[in-house]
Amino acid sequence: LAAASRWLSDQLPLMIEQLVGWVEICSGSHRLDGLVEMANALEDSFTDLPAAFARHDLPVWETIDGQGNPHHCGTGPALTWTCRPTARARVLLGIHYDTVYDHPPQGRPAARWLSDNRLSGPGAADAKGGLVALLWTLRACERFALAPDLGWTVVLTPDEELGSPASHGLWTELAERHRWGLLFEPALPDGTLVAARKGSGNFSIVVRGRSSHVGRHPEAGRNAIYQAARMVTELERLHQPATGLIVNVARIEGGSPVNVVPDLAVIRLNVRIQAADQADALLQRLQELVRQANATEGFQASLHGGITAPPKPSDSRAQQLQRIVEQAAGDLGRTIQWRDTGGVCDGNRLAAAGLTNVDTMGPCGDGLHSPAEWVELDSLWRSAELAAATLHRLHASLGDGGVTGAIQ
C-alpha cells in the first residue's frame, strides 16, 4: 500500500493533464455531441484496465415541455468495464460524466487555474475529477495487486445531473450483482465524506383552462394562472422543513398576451424527503390537488414526475462500510469525518436497490453546479489513494467472515 501511495502521488501531473483535457470537453447533460465525445475519450483512457468493456445505449425518457406536452429526450452511452466477474465478492465503482454547466462562449478555455492547487471549470470536481480518481484507483490496485481476489465493475453514466432518468435501470441491475459500491462524487471541501442523504423528486403540474378575449367574452375564459396560483398556495403549505419535507415551487410557465385569458400554466417543483414513508403521503397530496383542479368546471390538470432518488439512510450496513473506509484512512495515517446532506446522487439509487455504498470517494471541491466550481488538485491522488486503500481493506475482509458476512 505504501508503494501504491508513493506511485499515485508521483502520477499527479498526469492526473492533472488528464483532468484539464476532460474539462475541455463540453459534456453538459443536454449536449449529445459532447456526451458522445466524452464517452469516446473515456473509452480510450480506461482501455488499459484489465477488464471487459461494454458500451450501453440507454432508453429515451419523457419530459414535459413548456407547452405542457410530452417530449422525448436522449443521452449519451453508459460505459462499463468488468474485471474478475466470477470472484466471490465484487465491488461496483461508478460516477457520471455529464456536467450541470455548459462551456463558456466559443474560443475561451473551460479550465481556469485559480492557484497552483486549484482548477475551476464545469465538472472540475463533479465529477470529472472523480473520473480521474476512479481510473487511477484501479490502475494502482491492479499494478500493486492490492485486491487480487476482488472482482470489480466500473460504470460511467451520462445523466446523473438530470436525476439518472436513462441510467436508472442499469444502476439497479448492477446493484444486484455487487456486494459494495464506491461512487466518486466530490468529497466536501475539507475532505469530509457524506453519510446519509435526503431523497429527491421533480414534478410538473400541467394546468389547462380556456382562453377567451378579455374585453369581449371574459365570462367564457377559465384562467389557468389563477388556478395554478391556488395550487401553489396549497403546495407552500406542504413545505415543512421541521419534518425534513421540502417543497420548492421553482418555476411557472405558460400565460398569454395580457388581453387574453391564459389557458395554460405549468408548475415545476422539486421536493426533498427525509424518510421513505414521506413519499407516499406527499404523492397522495399532490394527486389530490390535481383531482380538485379537475373537479373545477373548465379546468384540466395532470401530474408528471416522481421521487427519482429515495432517501439514503446511514443504517447499520452503511455504517459498517463507513468503518472500513475509516480503517483504510487509518492505514494511510489519515482520519475521516462524516456529514449528512440534503443533496442526492446515484448513491441514493444504489442504496434503494440494496447496494451498500459510500458515494463521496472523489476529490475535494466546492461551488458545484455553478460556474465557480473548483477542485483541489492534490486531492486527485489523495482520493485515489483512499479508494485503493479501501479496496485493499475490503479484500482483506474477505477472509474475515464477520465483516463480509454481516455486510452481505
Which residues of the chain form contacts with Zn ion (CB under 5 A)? 126-127, 185
Q: How far is the CB of 184 from Zn ion (least distance, A)?
A: 9
Q: How far is the CB of 362 from Zn ion (least distance, A)?
A: 8
In the complex with Zn ion, the residue whose CB is nearer, 185 or 373, is: 185
Q: How far is the CB of 271 from Zn ion (least distance, A)?
A: 20
In the complex with Zn ion, the residue whose CB is nearer, 127 or 228, is: 127
In the complex with Zn ion, the residue whose CB is nearer, 159 or 185, is: 185
In the complex with Zn ion, the residue whose CB is nearer, 96 or 179, is: 96
Q: How far is the CB of 95 from Zn ion (least distance, A)?
A: 7
Q: How far is the CB of 83 from Zn ion (least distance, A)?
A: 24
Q: Is 100 exposed, middle or buried (0-12, 13-18, 19+ CB in 10 A)?
A: middle
HEC letters along the chain: CHHHHHHHHHCHHHHHHHHHHHHCCCCECCCHHHHHHHHHHHHHHHHHCCCEEEEECCCCEEEECCCCCEEEECCCCEEEEEECCCCCCEEEEEEECCECCCCCCCCCCCCEEEECCEEECCCCCCCHHHHHHHHHHHHHHHHCCCCCCCEEEEEEECCHHHCCCCCHHHHHHHHHCCCEEEEECEECCCCCEEEEECEEEEEEEEEECECCECCCCHHHCECHHHHHHHHHHHHHHHCEHHHCEEEEEEEEEECCCCCECCCEEEEEEEEEECCCHHHHHHHHHHHHHHHHHHCCCCCEEEEEEEEEECCECCCHHHHHHHHHHHHHHHHCCCCCCEEEECCCCHHHHHHHCCCCEECECEEEEECCCCCCCEEECHHHHHHHHHHHHHHHHHHHHHHCHHHHHHHC
Q: How far is the CB of 296 from Zn ion (least distance, A)?
A: 41
Nearest to 279 by CA among 198, 175, 187: 198
Q: How far is the CB of 348 from Zn ion (least distance, A)?
A: 12
- Cα separation, 253 vs 286, in Å, equals 18
Q: How far is the CB of 369 from Zn ion (least distance, A)?
A: 8
In the complex with Zn ion, the residue whose CB is nearer, 77 or 123, is: 123
Length of the chain: 408
Cell of 214: 378579455
Cell of 374: 473548483
In the complex with Zn ion, the residue whose CB is nearer, 159 or 326, is: 159
In the complex with Zn ion, the residue whose CB is nearer, 126 or 385, is: 126
Q: How far is the CB of 36 from Zn ion (least distance, A)?
A: 20
Is-cis flag, bond preceding 127, omega within 30?
Answer: yes
In the complex with Zn ion, the residue whose CB is nearer, 194 or 235, is: 194
In the complex with Zn ion, the residue whose CB is nearer, 329 or 345, is: 345
In the complex with Zn ion, the residue whose CB is nearer, 127 or 155, is: 127
Residue nearest to Zn ion (CB): 126
Q: How far is the CB of 345 from Zn ion (least distance, A)?
A: 6
